């Protein structure tokens, strides 16, 4: 829900995305919860957002969703949306 970043299912964050700039360095990241053990989030305030929760694809769909099952379609969609080509560090050249 605005103004919060990420992908939300109601009041629970499914995917976090962020950018950090400091000391002339820009860092960015993305975390999509596929089959995450959500009990770890009981011990923290995720993303510093009081009253908001965290969820996963497995929890929302009621079945196990492995990262390996989501990775290829996710990367394909990322390339399409951002009109880019992703290169793996394992790719030669």
Is 35 tagged catalytic? no
Identify the active-site residue in 21, 34, 35, 47.
47
CB within 8 Å of 30: residues ≥ 6 apart: 15, 16, 17, 18
Instruction: Tell me the per-residue pLDDT of 19-73, one tens digit each, with 9 for 90 and over.
Output: 889 999 998 888 999 999 999 988 988 878 888 899 999 999 999 999 999 999 9
- Is the predicted pLDDT of residue 91 greater than 70, yes or no? no
User: Could you tell me the pTM of the whole model?
Assistant: 0.78
């Amino acid at each position: 829900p605005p103004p919060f970043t990420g992908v939300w299912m109601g009041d629970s964050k499914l995917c976090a995305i962020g950018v950090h700039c400091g000391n002339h360095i820009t860092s960015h990241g993305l975390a999509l919860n596929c089959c995450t053990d959500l009990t770890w989030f009981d011990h923290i305030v995720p993303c510093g957002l009081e009253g908001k929760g965290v969820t996963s694809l497995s929890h929302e769909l009621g079945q196990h969703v492995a990262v390996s099952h989501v990775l290829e379609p996710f990367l394909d969609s990322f390339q399409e949306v951002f009109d880019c080509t992703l290169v793996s560090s394992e790719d030669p050249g």
